[in-house]
Structure 1
Amino acid sequence: MLNTLKRASLAMLSMMTALLLTFAMPTSAEGQSSKVVQQEITQLAGADYWREVREGQEGYTTSKSPEHGVLISKPGETWYILKEKWMSPAGAVAIFGSIAMVIMAYVFVGPLMLSKPRTGKKMKRWSRLDRALHWSMAFTFLTLAFSGLMLVYGKHFLKPYVPTEFWGFIVMLAKQYHNYMGPLFFILLMFVLLKWWRKSIPNMTDIRWFMKMGGMVGKHKGTHPSAGFSNGGEKAIYWLLIFFGAIVAVSGLVLDFPIFGQTRRDMELSNLVHAISALILICGFIFHIYIGLFGMEGALEGMVTGEVDETWAKEHHDLWYEEVKSKEAMGETESKPTTEKGAKANEQTS
């Protein structure tokens, strides 16, 4: 009897266990299924959120500045492609192309030398203020150009070869220098405009100067076309500096002070205009530096000492030379009657 009860109890226990397992398995599956559904719902909600972010939709922020609620700017991708894929390579080609051109000009054409010996007599060409302004502008422009090129091209030519910490220090230094020296460039540019604009007004003499290519290359080399105080080339580089320098300065100030309601598109456009104008200036001044240092005998002396030899003045700026000599002759002529009157007065007094 007792054994029968034991066997019946074991059978009932087995059946109850089987029933419990039968009901428990669907419950567990339903729980797992609900978790999967909840996870999918969460993923779908996140997908919608990030889709809106990628599309450039503006969210909520306590900042009142324009577009601060936009995490990802779609036009920014266009700006990045234009800057990195088109402008930067084209700028590098332009700069190295300009350097290659002046090297070939020096090797195959050679510098423009004086055709007659120097007289040893000097003519005043540049005042101390002129020279101070020129060299201040030169230093500011060259250092800004170097720091700007470092920010654009340094990651390609320098970053792979220096420690990361050193590269970070260089970029930080270049960026801070560029930001703080930019306004000084604008101030110097205004002084350059006010100081030399009268001497840089184009005229027909400049057209003839360009037609003979300044007497520096080809069949016209050594012909020394007529020029006043400034020749056609000097006037061209002057107005290149004023026009593109103003664009560089204004666009740089927009980038330097993003606190006046500029949108991202304003900043991106300013960045592209700033870079393109700066590259044009750099290429132009490569030729200017070549002429001053290597391309023309005696050109650098005037901006260093303020004086030029009469032979140099007569060959390269003959109209200015004649004007100066004419004024000197008129001054001597006017001083003679005064001297004679003074002599007669002395005789009467004695």
Structure 2
Amino acid sequence: MFQTICVACLGGTVAVLVLYHLLLKRKCEAAKGEKRDVHRFTVLERLTHAALALSFLTLALTGFGAACAGKSLSSWPWLLHWAAAPVFAAAVALVALVWTQDAVFEPHDWKWMLHLGGNVWRKDGLLASRFNAGQKLFLWLLSLFCLLLVLSGVTLMCPVFDASGQRWVLRVHRYSALLLTMQFLAHVYLGILAHPGTLWGMITGYVTPSWARQHHPVWWDDGRMVDG
């Protein structure tokens, strides 16, 4: 049953993103020749984000590789899965600690969410601070799902319930991972294809002035460039 749900949800998410890209995506080109001299992310933030991304990819590939094939996690994929788990948990904890202040919702975020950030239908004048409402929501959901995954994962490793209870723990682990992976796919698409310049900002730590003004006008106007 979970195998079917897993394939349908992950395949459906990819299909929706492809259709959106082909039919609805707003043209958003990166400024050519403009120097990236706006400091957006510190070295610590970038390294933590990289650790989070790599550990999550390891968990997703090993976990859903087995699930989509209808098999149980075993052998070296099992070892990789459990080796990546503490790295992922630590990275999420550090990300939450570093970015909690930037992830607090503000009045202008509700308008951004109402119009889906202008990603579906054009809406100019939407405001965003260092993180937009979608990124803030992603961070809070990431923290929630990570908590569920860690608690359920530890319980699966060290059972505390009877057989029926452990089956429910496994369901919580599986579906939390599935929802987080669907969210991750959308996050990757938005950062790489939908908004050019976003990925390079995370890799290098710097963005162009036009990118900052377009995507995070409140942060740009406040002059709150990061230190370090």
Q: TM-score normalized by structure 1?
A: 0.60
Alignment of 1:202-281 (within 5 A): 202-220=105-123, 223=124, 225-258=126-159, 261-281=160-180
1:89 to 1:100, Cα distance in 2 relative to 1, 3 A: same
1:174 aligns with 77
**Distance in 1 of aligned mates of 2:151 and 2:62:** 18
Secondary structure in structure 2 of the residue aligned to 1:265: helix
2:100 aligns with 197
Q: Can you give the 5+ residue segments of structure 1 that lack an aligned partner in the other structure?
A: 1-84, 157-167, 328-350
Moved over 2 A (4+): 109-112, 114-121
Secondary structure in structure 1 of the residue aligned to 2:78: helix
1:319 aligns with 218
Q: Can you give the 5+ residue segments of structure 2 that lack an aligned partner in the other structure?
A: none
Aligned partner of 1:179: which letter?
W
Compute the displacement of 1:112 (Å).
4.4
Per chain length, whose mean CA-contact separation is higher, i.e. which structure has more relative contact order (CA < 8 Å, sep 6+)? Answer: 2
Secondary structure in structure 2 of the residue aligned to 1:150: helix
Q: Deviations over 1:267-304 (max 9, x none)?
A: 21110000000000000011000011111121111101
Compute the displacement of 1:263 (Å).
2.3
Aligned partner of 1:236: which letter?
L
1:140 aligns with 55
1:254 to 1:115, Cα distance in 2 relative to 1, 3 A: closer
Compute the displacement of 1:88 (Å).
3.0
**Percent of aligned pairs sharing the same letter:** 26
**Distance in 2 of aligned mates of 1:248 and 1:124:** 33
1:326 to 1:301, Cα distance in 2 relative to 1, 3 A: closer
**Distance in 1 of aligned mates of 2:80 and 2:148:** 19
Q: Per residue, is there more helix in 1 or in 2?
A: 1
Q: Does 1:184 align with 2:83?
A: no
Aligned partner of 1:230: which letter?
F
**Distance in 1 of aligned mates of 2:148 and 2:180:** 11
1:192 to 1:115, Cα distance in 2 relative to 1, 3 A: closer
**Distance in 2 of aligned mates of 1:215 and 1:118:** 26
Aligned partner of 2:43: which letter?
R
Aligned partner of 1:288: which letter?
H
**Distance in 2 of aligned mates of 1:180 and 1:240:** 23
Compute the displacement of 1:262 (Å).
3.4
Q: Which of these two proteins has the greater Rg computed from alpha carbons?
A: 1
* Native 8 Å contact 1:144 1:178 kept in 2: yes
How many pairs align?
A: 226
* Native 8 Å contact 2:30 2:196 kept in 1: no
Alignment of 1:298-309 (within 5 A): 298-309=197-208
Q: Deviations over 1:45-99 (max 9, x none)?
A: xxxxxxxxxxxxxxxxxxxxxxxxxxxxxxxxxxxxxxxx3x3322221111110
